[in-house]
Amino acid sequence: MKRTRALGILWICVFMLSGCWDRIEINDLAFVTATGFDLIKENQIRVSIQVPLPSALGGAGSSGGGGGTGGNKPYYVDSTVGRNVREANDLLQSRMSRRSYFAHRRVIVFGEKLARSGFKKSLDLIVEQPQSRLTTFVLVTKGDAIDILNSSPHLEKLPAEAIRELTKAGYHRDVRDVLTDISRPGKDPVLPIVETVLTNNKKGQKQQEISINRLGILKNDQLMFITNYKETNGALWLLEQMQRRGYTFPIENQDEINVGIIKSKVKPEYTLKNNQPSFTLNVNVSANLMQNEGNLELNDPKNYRKAINKMETQIKEEIEAILVHSMSEGIDIYGLGWYLSRKESNLWKQKWEKDWNKLLTELDVKINVKAEIDEAINSALKIKE
């Protein structure tokens, strides 16, 4: 009797476990690779999605079950306006023959208007989606996010992939990083700015490409300003993101030296006077010589010291530029407050935390830069002029 019952249960399990009861065919999914968010007006947000077209991506003779066309593009972009992100997503889904699938989303782009008004609510709703990944890159664009999703980079088939590769090669922040920075006391987020630029080909025709060369400085979740070239470098030095980048500085007679940054570290130190902090940021930089335009003989200690002084001075000026601008608006991009909250937790809670943004405008911060250039080029091997 027991044996018969056991066999009966076994057969029931076999039938119950066979097959995929909740299977979803891949042909029934629309893989979203990028999402853009734009604020149209108060309580009106536009959500845009970028979806690859399998038939177009497969090349000639492909029959990937892809529906619709994107003109000559291997993807299409759809958008709609809702009172919030969830409503807009529902409206998009209502006119799609496939189920939107966000697990392979590469990037999230916030339009400038939405970023300036604050995007945390939108980001929270994104995180609540079961398929969303915290490793998705987050960027801001100067203008509308939908324009970035509709761009046509030439080296990648999908704008999302081009943005992802450019972001990986430079300064990048994912969803987890942004949420962490927003939640930390005494630390404000910094996000890369993605833009479209026009370049010329051999025929003089304009071509559209994607560029990430500037940074958006935020206070909590609101974009406050976009950096210029000097401020961008200064922020990257502070955030220890200059490694593997080229760096150029003038030397003499309009000549310049180009180096490749190997290492860049910032070590903060602070002192207290009458319970008021002041900081010294010690910046250590190591670099390889890449180009010595003026053939300055760097094996000569005097010339080497001259080059180092020029490099250190320029780095210091760049860091001071971003600190002066950001701190004057009560923004802490380095995380000086976060550093104090761990080192002086009692003073932080009792005296500094509540008015930290105001204290920043009066905070004394000194910059010390120590640079070294290795593997100097032997100018004797160059062709003599």
- Indicate the DSSP class of residue 29: E
The architecture that CATH gives domain 228-385 is 2-Layer Sandwich (3.30)
Cβ atoms of residues 217 and 223 within 8 Å: yes
224 CB burial (10 A radius; 0-12, 13-18, 19+): middle
**Residue 180 is inside which H or E element, if any?**
helix 175-183
pLDDT score for 294: 79
pLDDT score for 314: 97
The model carries a pTM of 0.86
Cβ atoms of residues 42 and 167 within 8 Å: no
pLDDT score for 62: 39
| Spatial CA neighbour of 337 closest among 219, 244, 208, 193 | 219
Cβ atoms of residues 326 and 363 within 8 Å: no
From CA 269, how far away is CA 281, in angstroms rounded?
6
Cβ atoms of residues 277 and 270 within 8 Å: yes
pLDDT tens for the 385 residues of the chain, in order: 667 777 777 767 666 665 565 666 778 888 999 999 999 988 899 999 999 987 766 554 333 333 333 557 889 899 999 998 889 999 999 988 888 889 899 999 999 999 999 998 888 888 888 888 899 999 999 999 999 999 988 888 899 999 999 998 889 999 999 999 999 999 999 999 999 988 876 666 677 889 999 999 999 999 999 999 999 999 999 999 999 899 999 987 778 999 999 999 999 999 999 989 999 999 999 999 998 887 888 888 999 999 999 999 999 999 999 999 999 999 999 999 999 999 999 999 999 999 999 999 999 999 999 999 986 555 544 555 5
- Indicate the DSSP class of residue 384: P
**In the chain, where are the structural domains located?**
25-226, 228-385
